[in-house]
Amino acid sequence: MAAFSLAIASCGAASDTAPRENWEEAAPPTRGLDRERVDATLLRAAELPNLRSLIVMRNGEELVAQRFNGGPDLDRTVNIKSASKSVMSALVGIAIERGVLDGVEQPVLSELRPYAPQQPDPRLGRVTVGNLLSMQAGLARTSGDNYGRWVSSPNWVRYALSQPFVEEPGGAMLYSTGSTHLLSAMLTEASGRSTWALAQEWLAEPLGVQIPQWERDPQGIYLGGNQMAMSPRGMARFGELYRLGGTIDGTQIVPEAWIERSWTKATTSPWSGQGYGYGWFIAEASGHPVYFAWGYGGQMIYIVPSLALTVVMTSGTDVERGSGHIGALWTLLSEGIVPAAEIGA
């Protein structure tokens, strides 16, 4: 069995060895987790060689905080990969609220026309902010096997806008980091500031989390939708922000209506069959809606509003595609944590 370290805490007090009755006393049943289910889930988690951390929060209380397989400290930033797309969605929602962007119907070319081909496909003029957020731009993907060619190009924005249309705008889901990078470029052009600077002012500072500078394209635009870093506890803080309707510590950070729209199914993933909104996947566990950010290798933020749960899992990033690791993480949530919350409620 892989080595792991465990902390089960309530109200900020960690305990590795507290007897069950003390744990139950510290974590009231109305805000707790069933201990037997938690123990079984942690034993199962310890057998996953690529899992690095697990945090479970209920009603804002950190009840499980654990590192696995030499994972970094829970307050140390890690690459969250494509979970960055959910952060980018939050920035777009704030930008619309503040008038930096006009709305989800705003055409991409309203800000990025200088990057477009000289004789663009007429459909490019119909691609909107909303299409980019829901991965329905219609442009050929720049993710997967195409990612390397895209980031090796001299101008990532122009490359993404120059891709051929393989679907109509608003059509089938085409998961593409190029789409979220176009959002980062739009934010940069519209605000006159970098996406990182906006992330600091609009999210990192009010949340009290770290979002270090990350990769930029040759024009200096921060990569939209990949390579951001947050600590596991920072990810949990961001998840709590969404669970609480965009308000945290009494401050409205993300508009509540934006979260509702982001968690409304716009399309369906052709791979998983799960719903997708504005930068968030949508699924169900034991009848409970689950909204989650998903980064390559298993960088996950799961939110189960009906059970007041925010769950974070981070993993090594060298997981092979099709390894079953993502499915194993979902099993930890759906067969372990969710039932533990149902019983402990």
**Residue 99, burial from CB neighbour count under 10 angstroms (0-12, 13-18, 19+):** exposed
Q: Give the closest residue to 204 by CA, choosing from 177, 222, 231.
A: 231
* Predicted pLDDT of residue 31: 55
What digits encode the pLDDT tens for the residues 138-181? Answer: 999 999 999 999 999 999 999 999 999 999 999 999 999 999 99
* Predicted pLDDT of residue 271: 87
The whole model's pTM is what?
A: 0.91
Q: φ, ψ for residue 62 (rounded to 5)?
A: -80, 105
What residue type is 282 in one-letter code? I
Cross-strand pairs, 14: 9
* Predicted pLDDT of residue 242: 98
Strand 13-15 and strand 4-10: the pairing is: antiparallel
Counted residue by residue, the chain has a size of 345
Strand 4-10 and strand 61-68: the pairing is: antiparallel
* Predicted pLDDT of residue 6: 39
What residue type is 69 in one-letter code? N
* Predicted pLDDT of residue 68: 97
* Predicted pLDDT of residue 321: 66
Cross-strand pairs, 310: 57, 303
Residue pLDDT tens, the chain, 345 long: 333 333 444 333 333 333 333 333 333 333 589 999 999 999 999 999 999 999 999 999 999 999 999 999 999 999 999 999 999 999 999 999 999 999 999 999 999 999 999 999 999 999 999 999 999 999 999 999 999 999 999 999 999 999 999 999 999 999 999 999 999 999 999 999 999 999 999 999 999 999 999 999 999 999 999 999 999 999 999 999 999 999 999 999 999 999 999 999 999 999 899 999 999 999 999 999 999 999 999 999 999 999 999 999 999 988 766 679 999 999 999 999 999 999 986
Q: Taking the CA of residue 184 as centre, how many other CA atoms within 13 Å lie in the half-sphere pointing to its CB?
A: 32
Distance of CA 142 to the CA centre of its chain: 19
Strand order, beta sheet including 275-276: 13-15, 4-10, 61-68, 51-58, 309-315, 299-304, 288-295, 281-285, 275-276, 267-268
For residues 77 and 234, give the distance between their C-alpha atoms in angstroms, rounded to a whole number: 8
Q: Give the closest residue to 132 by CA, choosing from 191, 91, 100, 193.
A: 91
Is CATH 3.40.710.10 the right assignment for the domain spanning 82-284?
yes
For the chain, domain boundaries: 1-73+323-345, 82-284
3-state secondary structure the chain: CCCEEEEEEECCEEECCCCHHHHHHHCCHHHCCCHHHHHHHHHHHCCCCCEEEEEEEECCEEEEEEEECCCCCCCCCEEEECCHHHHHHHHHHHHHHCCCCCCCCCECHHHHHHHCCCCCCHHHHHCEHHHHHCCCCCECCCCHHHHHHHHCCCCHHHHHHCCCECCCCCCCCCCCHHHHHHHHHHHHHHHCCCHHHHHHHHHHHHHCCCCCCCCECCCCCECCCCCEEECHHHHHHHHHHHHCCCEECCEECCCHHHHHHHCCCCEECCCCCCEECCCCEEEEECCEEEEEEEECCCEEEEEEHHHCEEEEEEECCCCCCCCCHHHHHHHHHHHHHHHHHHHHC
What residue type is 117 in one-letter code? P
What residue type is 273 in one-letter code? G
